[in-house]
Amino acid sequence: MTILEVLHTAPSCGTCPIRHRAVCARCETDELAALDAIKFYRSFEAGQTLIWAGDRMDFVASVVSGVATLTQVMEDGRTQTVGLLFPSDFVGRPGRERAPYNVIATTDLLMCCFRKKPFEELMGRTPHIGQRLLEMTLDELDAAREWMLLLGRKTAREKIASLLAIVGRRDAALHLRKPQGQMVFDLPLTREAMADYLGLTLETVSRQISALKRDGVIELEGKRHVTVPDYNRLLEEAGDDADGGFFG
C-alpha cells in the first residue's frame, strides 16, 4: 500500500473506529486538533516487523485496525510471545528511548502514529492524554497479572478458552457491545501463534480447539471464523466468571 493509499483509507478523528477507547478518548476538540497536527498513518502487512527490540523509537502509536504481537528472543534463540496488541492499544512509552520488544503484525495493520517528542510535550500540557494513558497502562498491568495466572495455573483447555474469551471481549468492546450471549468474531492468530503465546504445542492447541468445538462451546467456519453460542459458557470453560476476565 502506498502512502497516498494509506492517507485515503485512514479515518479522520471524528470517524475513527477506536476513538472511544484510544489514548485520545478524553480529548476535547482543541486537543484533538493538536494531536492531528503531529499524527501520521502507517500500514503494515501481516508478518511484517514494525519495531525490533532495542530499536530507537521516534514515534508512539495506537493500533487502528488489525492485531500485532509483542515478542522477545531469548539467549538460546527461542522466541516467546509476551503480549497481543488489539485495536485501540498503545505502542511505545513516552520517556523511553528504545523498544523493549519486537512488535510484529499478525494481520494487516493500520497504525495512527505520533511523533514522539511532540507527543511527550503535548502530554505535559494536555491532562486528558496523560489521564487516559495512565488508565490504559493500569489496564495493561491488570491484564499482565491475569495472564500470569493463565500461564501458571490453567489447563490447556482453559488456556484456549481464555484466549478466545479475550478476543471476543475485545471485539465486543471495539463495536460498543457487551460480551454476552452469542458472539461472532475472527481469530487473529494462527494455531502456531496460539501455541507460542500460550506455551503449548501445536498438537495440543489443535486437539483442545477440536474438543471445544465437539462439546458445542464454539463453532468454527474455516480455522479463523469463530461463533460462541453462549459467552458465559466459554467463560466457565476458561475458569472465569461473567464479571471477571481479561483485557477489559
**C-alpha separations of 30 from 41, 47, 61, 68, 122 in Å:** 20, 37, 20, 31, 12
Same domain, 150 and 203: yes
Range of the domain at 161: 145-238
pLDDT digits (tens, 9 = 90+) for 100-113: 899 999 999 999 99
Give domain status of residue 108, yes or no.
Answer: yes
Query: What local confidence, expressed as pLDDT, does residue 95 receive?
Result: 80
Amino acid at 7: L
Identify residue 59 by its one-letter amino acid code.
Answer: F
Give the predicted TM-score (pTM) of the model: 0.79
What percent of the chain stands above pLDDT 70? 91
User: pLDDT tens for residues 29-57?
Assistant: 888 888 888 999 999 999 999 999 999 98
Are 14 and 84 spatial neighbours (Cβ–Cβ below 8 Å)? no
Query: Does residue 191 share a domain with residue 164?
Result: yes
Residue after which a domain boundary falls, among 78, 110, 136 = 136
**Residue range 205-217: mean pLDDT, rounded:** 96
Last residue of a domain, one of 136, 157, 180: 136
Reply yes or no on whether the pLDDT at 244 is more than 60.
no
